[in-house]
Amino acid sequence: MDKSKSFELTQDKPIIISLGGSLVVPNGGIDTTYLSEFNKFIREKVAQGWRFFIVVGGGTLARHYIDAGKKIVGEMSDWDLDWLGIHSTHLNAHLIRTIFSDIAHPRIIQNYAKKIESLKEPLVVAAGWKPGFSTDFCAVTLAADYHSSIVLNMSNISTVYDKDPKLYKEAKPFQNLSWAEFEKLVGKIWKPGSNLPFDPKATQLAKELGLTVYVIGKDLPNLDKILNGDDFVGTVIK
């Protein structure tokens, strides 16, 4: 597919990574191979002077709980469905925080109303907050609170298409999208357990703040290209 070029990422501001829970727990089992590679990559970048906030999603683990709840009791409120997802993000985030325990801030961000004062650590791990949106919204909130204009969205979705490429062979990939164009694709209503490139509430906030979001998938060499300002595969939304 077409590639874009990044010129915006610099080490003077932290990089916000929205890490999809599907990369942590793809289908009920923890992907220790990928997390080991992610651990090595982030540590190398920290040694080079980069700073990161990693917001961890619930992904497949959340969907297992949501599906189980629906199967047992039938209809569930969005409030309950969201909390199952949020607690899943807490578990996933604690694993990531444990992996980086020697270089990460000791507190996992779960309440975004409480900012970290005098941050010294090069890495902060964050999780879900409250019902009504996904961790994508949390990532955008962190970008605003800690003065970053960039969010890197890493998940099992590597590029934004006009329709689901798994169902439609003629699906068209996008290299660049405006927030108005992207909003037409994802809508404005958040539903718990949605599997979207970036959630509607996060989209609205990112649009208001004028942020740039890179949808880049899970590939770490691809992430390295972005940090180096080289051509990469993915979609830029701004």
For every residue of 151-187, DSSP letters joined together read EEEESS--S-BSS-TTT-TTPPB-SEE-HHHHHHHH-
Instruction: Give the pLDDT score at 223.
Output: 95
**Across residues 91-113, what is the average pLDDT?**
97
**Across residues 224-228, what is the average pLDDT?**
92
**Across residues 95-119, what is the average pLDDT?**
95
The side-by-side arrangement of strands in the sheet containing 150-154 is: 123-126, 52-56, 15-19, 150-154, 212-215, 235-237, 176-177
**Across residues 215-233, what is the average pLDDT?**
93
Handedness of CA 167, 152, 213, 91 (dihedral sign): positive
Look over the chain and give the mean of its residue pLDDT values, rounded to a whole number.
90
How many angstroms separate the CA atoms of 20 and 135, rounded? 9
CA distances from 79 to 95, 138, 186, 218 (A): 25, 17, 21, 29
Instruction: Using CB atoms within 10 Å of the CB of residue 72, give its burial: 0 to 12 exposed, 13 to 18 middle, 19+ buried.
Output: exposed
Domains of the chain: 3-237 (3.40.1160.10)
Residues 6 or more apart in contact with residue 71 via CB below 8 angstroms: none
Instruction: Give the pLDDT score at 13.
Output: 87
Instruction: Give the pLDDT score at 132.
Output: 86
Instruction: Give the pLDDT score at 39.
Output: 98
Q: For residue 28, is pLDDT > 80?
A: no
Instruction: Give the pLDDT score at 59.
Output: 86
pLDDT, greater one: 170 or 102: 102
